[in-house]
Amino acid sequence: MTGRYAKWTKLQLINRIKELESQTTVPLKDFSSRGDNRPIDFNKYGQRHVAFKVAYIGWNYSGVAISHMEDNSVESYLLSALIKTSFIKDKDYAKLTRCGRTDKGVNAFGQVISCHLRSKFTKEELLMDNFESEDKKEYDYCRIINKVLPNDIRILGWSFVPEEFNARFDCMYRKYKYFFPCNDLDVGSMALAANYFEGTHDFRNFCKVTPETLDQNYNRTVLEAKIVKSSESPHSLKSNSIAGFYEFHVKGHAFLYHQVRCMIAVLFLVGRGLEKPEIVKQLLDTDTFPVKPTYELAAGENLVLYEAGYENLIFTPVDPSFTFTEWFYKIEKSLVDVVVLSQMLSDAVSSDFCKEIYEKQSGPLLSKGCATGKLAIYTKKSKPTDLINILFEL
């Protein structure tokens, strides 16, 4: 380096950069490429109906669905990004639809969201007979939107869709995966119990029931339900798989509120030896057991909306590799922390004092009507403070 900065220390250079940045008043880049700050007249432009394949780590969000623009939902951040990039003028303009409504903390690598976006072209140009055959390039929606989204929300692919397309009602199936450590669970019994879920059943004992939903139709069709070892999963990177981890795969046309988390919660009771695999079959017999027993809901942080199926919908992928690498190291550290804490708590549970209390609190679902199992860390949210507080609640 030559010139006036050649002999400056690293700290002096950093302070100089900060000083220069504080004097800079360059406006943010206008993604609409207008070159000025005049408001966009949306009436001059056509609309494109676009479906996005979206991934997000839901641990820091209140869920995917928006209630108002200032909430902490995934959709609120997505809509804010669309407004910031001038692709929509407000929430109503977007006419947004989603494939699945994931709860607080739940993740997605295959969420599908459709919305109407401002086109680069006028309404008249989009209506031309030969428009699609012309070499006309639309905005690079994914690249532009990803630039202003939080790092844990990413668009993975996109596709133009017909005007009547609805991401929810046109979806043929949804597939979820629930990841969990073995931790002395009887995985074989859990796998047997999972088989009973397949087929069309009344799932009122495997969902959240409220006074407002008492009269709804609880029948749902599960196409696949199985337990898979993570290292043997078809899409697993074996070098990255954490030893002793398993996945609950469930695929169906549609799911009730909290259905998947209730299903895995009962499977955990089977895995811990508190229930027989046939408990699933019994709870699906709503004539014999018309009222849902009390059991703790499985944590949402382990759940992923993995895939959504549509007819003739092919997404053009964007390169998410940098994002997934960043996510992997962040999540791997969190999982290791949880596994270590799990071992610590397991050791605490093995003490005579905790073991006696644990045995008093846990029991068969149908005989006691509930199974609290406060030391069942598999169904607790993976936060150290929550898990440590369990011990103080005893």
Rounded to whole angstroms, the Cα distance separating 264 from 85 reads: 40
Rounded to whole angstroms, the Cα distance separating 79 from 74 reads: 9
Per-residue pLDDT, averaged over 179-204, amounts to 94
Express each pLDDT in 56-69 by its tens digit. Answer: 989 889 999 887 76
Per-residue pLDDT, averaged over 148-176, amounts to 93
- For residue 86, CA distances in Å to 30, 39, 45, 124, 162 come to 9, 9, 12, 20, 22
For domain 45-160, which architecture applies? 2-Layer Sandwich (3.30)
Fold of 173-309: Alpha-Beta Plaits (3.30.70)
Query: 173-309: same fold as 45-160?
Result: yes
Listed range (5-19, 162-176, 315-329) with the worst mean pLDDT: 315-329
Express each pLDDT in 375-385 by its tens digit. Answer: 333 343 444 34
pLDDT band at residue 6, thresholds of 50, 70 and 90? confident
pLDDT band at residue 372, thresholds of 50, 70 and 90? very low
Express each pLDDT in 198-254 by its tens digit. Answer: 999 999 999 998 777 777 899 999 999 999 998 766 655 444 445 578 999 999 999
Per-residue pLDDT, averaged over 342-355, amounts to 59
The domains of the chain are located at: 45-160, 173-309
Burial label, 258 (beta-carbon count in 10 A; 0-12, 13-18, 19+): middle
Residue 10 pLDDT: 75
Helix/strand number for the chain, H first, E second: 12, 12
pLDDT at 386 over 50: no
Express each pLDDT in 39-57 by its tens digit. Answer: 788 888 999 999 999 999 8
Rounded to whole angstroms, the Cα distance separating 275 from 196 reads: 14
Closest CA to 174 of 66, 101, 247, 268: 101
Instruction: Strands of 1-66 (E only): list them.
Output: 47-56
Computed over every residue of the chain, the mean pLDDT equals 79
Place of tokens 């004992």: 205
Per-residue pLDDT, averaged over 297-316, amounts to 93
Cα 215 to its chain centre, rounded Å, is 28
| List of residues 6+ apart from 354 with CB closer than 8 A | 348, 375, 391, 394
Listed range (16-25, 28-37, 249-258) with the worst mean pLDDT: 28-37
Residue 391 pLDDT: 34
Question: Which residues have a catalytic role annotated?
Answer: 103
User: Do 74 and 56 meet the contact criterion of CB atoms below 8 Å apart?
Assistant: yes
pLDDT at 23 over 60: no
pLDDT at 141 over 70: yes
The torsion region of residue 35 among left (phi > 0), alpha (psi -120 to 50) and beta comes to left
SS (HEC) of 155-171: EEEEEECCCCCCCCCCC
The share of the chain scoring above pLDDT 70, in percent, equals 69
Helix (H) / strand (E) containing 358? helix 352-361
122-136, 160-174, 323-337, 371-385 — which one is most confidently predicted on average?
A: 160-174
User: Do 89 and 42 meet the contact criterion of CB atoms below 8 Å apart?
Assistant: yes
User: How many Cα atoms are found within 13 Å in the side-chain-facing hemisphere of 373?
Assistant: 28
Express each pLDDT in 310-329 by its tens digit. Answer: 999 999 888 655 566 666 66
Closest CA to 291 of 366, 379, 199: 366
pLDDT band at residue 133, thresholds of 50, 70 and 90? low
Per-residue pLDDT, averaged over 174-202, amounts to 94
Helix (H, G, I), strand (E, B) or coil at 386: helix
pLDDT at 268 over 50: yes
Listed range (116-130, 268-282, 358-372) with the worst mean pLDDT: 358-372
Q: Which two tokens stand for residue 240?
A: 């990255």
Residue 209 pLDDT: 84
Rounded to whole angstroms, the Cα distance separating 243 from 281 reads: 31
Residue 70 pLDDT: 65
Residue 320 pLDDT: 57
Per-residue pLDDT, averaged over 75-91, amounts to 93
